[in-house]
Amino acid sequence: MDRDFQAKQVNLLIRQTGHRLLLQAGDSSSRVLPVTEIKEGTFRLRFENEFAFNHDSLLALSQNFLPKKQFPSGYTVTVHDCVKGNIVYGFQVNNTSPDILACAGRSQPSGCYVIEFAFPNFYGNAKKQNAGSDQPTESVKAANLEVGPILEKLKKPTFGYDIARPNGKPESDKAETRQGNPTIEGSKTTAIGYPSINLIYGILALIGVALLIRHFGKFLTPFPRRSQSHAVINESAPELAALGKFFFNVKDQRLVLDSEVVSLTDKECKVLNVLHKNFGELIPRETLMQEVWISEGVITGRSLDVFVSKLRKKLSLDPGLRITNVHGKGYKLEMA
């Protein structure tokens, strides 16, 4: 993977993590400032305004957008106080040893924070992937084997006629059989009396085959893994979104918390999805009812209250997550 491309890709994923973290804090207007690489493999995420966040939400977002299987050496995330510079929260994600997860289940009060993502041997892993992608594939090896007989035919006189024969007649069957598996010495004397011409033909043939292999080998070499990784992230992020301590799977209509799976009904999932897309914002009752019951003709406010009540019970596994009722106006999903 190209160094510059890899850095840009991780930069965008970290920026997306910051964006989702602000949304969960109820901030949909302030900016996520440019992500900078302060040293090799260490990226700094800064924000325009102060905000509060849940520790488990940052962990879930990081594992969602930066799955550890894509980083052989793992990575460390640390949250720094903007003023004092000290670390107020952090965790380490590993592939070869247990993760280090400190202060799980807590919330960080509103403040000015900078988040640093450190990837050990970040560019070293890219070099290894490049080295792996430069190895010839089985298809290329097979192409080399198939080129062998073609090369031997090219070494023979053109159009099956021996240029050394004055009458231009084809060689006998016996001669053809003898040249079917030519030795090095035999290949030197295919055209009797014209060794230099035969040598030139052989050299030109070798150069031509080498150029063909080089040209088509580019198309046979497997693409770097980054493309597949990136595709996985683009597909999985919308289906498995971080919601407090939960992962919210809209497609399968369920909430996942560690090994706990909470199933949602169709209406519960639709209500929660509308609230989640507008995290921290007040959604009018009329808007929720139209979004969820738009195709059912009769809409009652009581039905909405019943489904919100059921959702509150199912979300109670995460005490920091709540659906707040603003009397006479509507509901909003927010962190406590």
Phi, psi of 107, deg, nearest 5: -120, 145
233 domain-assigned: no
**Residue 232's pLDDT is what?**
34
Same domain, 7 and 114: yes
Q: H-type helices in 183-250, by residue range? A: 184-188, 195-220, 225-239
225 domain-assigned: no
Same domain, 139 and 117: no
238 domain-assigned: no
**Residue 99's pLDDT is what?**
87
Same domain, 203 and 269: no
Same domain, 124 and 140: no
Same domain, 159 and 215: yes
**Residue 217's pLDDT is what?**
56
Residue range(s) defining the domain that contains residue 249: 245-335
Same domain, 95 and 149: no
Per-residue pLDDT of the chain (336 residues; tens, 9 = 90+): 577 888 899 999 999 999 999 988 888 899 999 999 999 899 999 999 999 998 888 998 998 899 888 888 899 999 999 988 899 999 999 988 888 887 777 888 999 999 999 999 887 765 555 555 444 444 434 444 444 454 454 444 444 444 344 444 444 444 444 444 544 444 444 444 455 666 777 788 788 777 777 665 544 444 444 333 333 333 333 456 788 888 888 888 989 887 788 999 988 998 998 898 888 889 998 888 888 877 665 556 578 888 899 999 999 988 888 999 988 889 999 887
237 domain-assigned: no
Cα 179 to the center of its chain, rounded Å: 53
40 domain-assigned: yes
Question: How far apart, in whole angstroms, are the C-alpha atoms of residue 180 and residue 182?
Answer: 6
Same domain, 45 and 67: yes
228 domain-assigned: no
89 domain-assigned: yes
Question: How far apart, in whole angstroms, are the C-alpha atoms of residue 300 and residue 289?
Answer: 8
Whether the CA torsion 20, 23, 25, 30 is positive or negative: it is positive
Tokens of 260: 């706990």
Question: How far apart, in whole angstroms, are the C-alpha atoms of residue 310 and residue 328?
Answer: 20
Sheet holding 42-46, edge to edge: 36-39, 42-46, 113-118, 75-81, 87-93, 100-101
Distance in angstroms between the alpha carbons of the first and the last residue of the chain: 42
Residue that finishes a domain, picked among 128, 145, 160: 128
Same domain, 83 and 22: yes
Same domain, 7 and 124: yes
The CATH number assigned to the domain holding 315 equals 1.10.10.10
Bridge partners of residue 87, in order along the sequence: 80
Q: H-type helices in the chain, by residue range? A: 3-24, 55-65, 122-133, 138-155, 173-178, 184-188, 195-220, 225-239, 266-277, 285-293, 301-315
Residue that finishes a domain, picked among 104, 128, 152: 128
Residue that finishes a domain, picked among 128, 163, 198: 128
Same domain, 85 and 159: no
3-state secondary structure 138-189: HHHHHHHHHHHHHHHHHHCCHHHECCCCCCCCECCHHHHHHCCCCCHHHHHC
Same domain, 42 and 120: yes
Number of compact structural domains in the chain? 3
Same domain, 176 and 293: no
254 domain-assigned: yes
